[in-house]
Amino acid sequence: MLESPNFERADRARAFLRFIVDEALKGRADRLKAFTIAREVFERDESFDPQTDTIVRVEAGALRRRLEHYYLTGGRDDPIVIDVPKGGYEPNFSWNVTHPQESGTSIRRTTVVVGITLLILLGIVGGLFLKTNQPPTPGRSVVLTSAPFVAVLPLSPLSNDPLEERLAAGLGEAIITKLSKLSGLSVMAHASIVELKSRSMNIASISSEFGATHVLRGSLEKGQNKVRANIQLIDTSTTTTVWADQLEGTVDKLLDLEDAIAGQVATELLIHINPDERTRLLHRYTLDPEALLLFRQALVLIMPPNDMTRVLTARRLFRRVIQLDPAFAGGYAGESFTHSISVIFLKATEPTKSLRKAIALATKAIETDPIFGMGYATLAFAYALSGKPEQSLTNARRAVAVQPGDAFGQWLLGVNLILAGKPDEAIAPLTRAQRLDPVEPRTPYQNVLGIAYYATGEYVTAVELFEQNLKRGGPAGPHMDVFRAAAYVELGREKKAQQLIDQTLRSHPGFPVEKWLEQFLASGDSFRTTTDNLHRLGLPPNE
């Protein structure tokens, strides 16, 4: 460990670790007090006072972070894990849960945690995490999380080399994907990051408009087969650099660089990483860069999902992903989603057959990769449309557990809750989806959040969300015009509602209003009241 790259430029951490491990193994753990360590390791004299000189506490916190980083990167295959539990300086030794033991059994680590002292926790973490980090949403207050919210800005290539540009873009997106697997922080979705780049927003604006507590930025330089990344993690509240480093790797092992950066961000932000999350953090969905690129392009293309031309084109891309890498679950999950979307938007000629395909493909995705969150999300969606709410919600919640920071999974959980007749519960995950992906205008998150508020009778908030979506250039069409009209009727603004109905009749005379509304309003009093109001304004009943 001490000779590894993780410790080569950390003389104090190396000396600290060597001393406490030697003392523990020699049976002298009772000597591991601040006074002894200060004298033996940091050359303090007998006048050392731990109340006024915090060197031991500070260096212990730095050592804990470095150990966490080591086991996420170069030391992830070590059979033995050394950590220093908070509240003391005695090292703990345990088996690495991801390393196979010679006996064929494994002793599971109970937790992987960055330890800090109570004083640092109260002084730093309190100031860091109690900041409000979510944009305002109309209507009721939805408490989300006080966890750090990170915006990973695109890395800047240092030359005009097209390969260097692709490597920089891919590395940034991969870091976002990895961080979205951790429950202890939130990370802004890649689509929104791309939109932020086009707006040339600075750190202060990203913080004030979207609530980001931290920004990760940097540059990438490619040599022959070498890659060098210069990375900075910045606290937006103070604009101070939390962590800065220069990391090197090779083009053919760029994934190791992704692991190193994501792991360091987690350790610097004092994120608790349990063993399951640690496994997911190091997991790679595919090693085929072309398959991954096509998958991401298809996900972007499919939004907004009410345009069936886009959906069918995305389906062809997902099928190509399957051809390129049959072991990548993304192709199966993506194609599953296209079949379910055709059903909910009433475009499928044989809905039952389409949903059977969707379920089979999503099941294949889960079998292929049990920790790929989108597999569970798309299976949940297909089950919801098949009239199986219990199976739907079980899988939707599993998707969020596997990848809590994924906006798509949070959105589908919200959709499934509405379809199951639980719109009140849907508001929280839909708000999270909007917060995670706040800038990309083509996503349907704001519209579906408006539907959830409408279904709970909060018509003012619903109208505000529908109108905000239009102002930012979000998805529009008859499917949302009927909800807007219904909300305006409930608010007594029948003239505005009449205009929307007339517009729908002119542009989409055959739109199946009742079938569309019935999916979201659970066929209850709200559904009957809504359809009666719309019929009164001139919309004919479905044949």
Q: Which of 63-72, 206-215, 421-430 has the lowest mean pLDDT?
A: 63-72
* Residue bearing tokens 């305002």: 136
Select the more confidently predicted residue: 435 or 305. Answer: 435
C-alpha 136/C-alpha 464 separation (Å) is: 12
Check residue 87 and give its pLDDT: 79
The number of angstroms, rounded, from the C-alpha of 322 to the middle of its chain's C-alpha atoms is 24
Of 135-144, 404-413, 438-447, 485-494, least confident by mean pLDDT is 135-144
pLDDT of amino acid 244:
87
Contact present, 330 and 289 (Cβ < 8 Å): no
Radius of gyration of the chain (CA): 26
The mean pLDDT value of the chain amounts to 83
Taking residues 34-38, report their average pLDDT.
Answer: 90
Give this prediction's pTM.
0.70
Contact 394, 429 (CB under 8 A): no
DSSP assignment string, 113-155: -----HHHIIIIIHHHHSS--S---SSS------S-EEEEPPP
Please determine, for residue 461, whether its predicted confidence score (pLDDT) is greater than 90.
yes
DSSP H/E element including 299: helix 289-301
pLDDT at 133: 39
Q: Residue 22: CB partners within 8 Å, gap ≥ 6?
A: none
Strand, coil or helix: what is 247?
strand
φ, ψ for residue 501, nearest 5 deg: -65, -45
Q: Which helix (H) or strand (E) holds 489?
A: helix 478-490
Instruction: Compute the average pLDDT of residues 414-422.
Output: 94
Please say if the pLDDT value at position 223 is more than 50: yes
Taking the C-alpha atoms of residue 192 and residue 503, their distance in angstroms, rounded to an integer, is 31
State percent of the chain over pLDDT 90. Answer: 40
Q: Which tokens go with 143?
A: 């408490």
The mean pLDDT of 98-109, rounded to a whole number, is: 37
350 CB neighbour count, 10 Å cutoff: 11
| pLDDT surpassing 80 at residue 15 | yes
Q: What percent of the chain has pLDDT over 70?
A: 89
pLDDT of residue 315: 96
- Nearest-5° Cα angle at 79, 78 to 82: 75
Question: Is 50 exceeded by the pLDDT of residue 136?
Answer: no
Residue 201 structure tokens: 């927003």
Q: Contact at 8 Å (CB) between 342 and 308?
A: yes
Instruction: Please spell the DSSP secondary structure of 436-479, one letter per residue.
Output: HS-S-TT-SHHHHHHHHHHHTT-HHHHHHHHHHHHHTT---SHH
Answer yes or no: are the C-beta atoms of 419 and 385 closer than 8 Å.
Answer: yes
Q: What confidence category does residue 523 fall into, taking pLDDT thresholds of 50, 70 and 90?
A: low
Structure confidence at residue 492 (pLDDT)? 92
> Per-residue pLDDT for 62 more than 90?
no
Q: Tell me the average pLDDT across 431-459.
A: 91
* Residue-range domains of the chain with CATH: 11-115 (no CATH), 131-282 (3.40.50.10610), 287-403 (1.25.40.10)
The CA-atom distances, in angstroms, between 456 and each of 212, 301, 464 are 30, 31, 15
Please give the helix or strand (H or E) that residue 240 lies within, else none. strand 240-250
Tell whether the model's pLDDT for residue 531 goes beyond 50.
yes
* The pair of three-digit structure tokens given for residue 386, joined into one six-digit string: 């098949």
The answer to which of 87-91, 367-371, 459-463, 489-493 has the lowest mean pLDDT is 87-91
Mean pLDDT along residues 379-398: 95
What does the alpha-carbon distance between residue 521 and residue 486 come to, in Å, rounded to a whole number?
A: 12
Given a cut of 80, is residue 351 above it in pLDDT?
A: yes
Question: Considering only 44-58, 119-133, 165-179, 231-245, which range has the smallest mean pLDDT?
Answer: 119-133
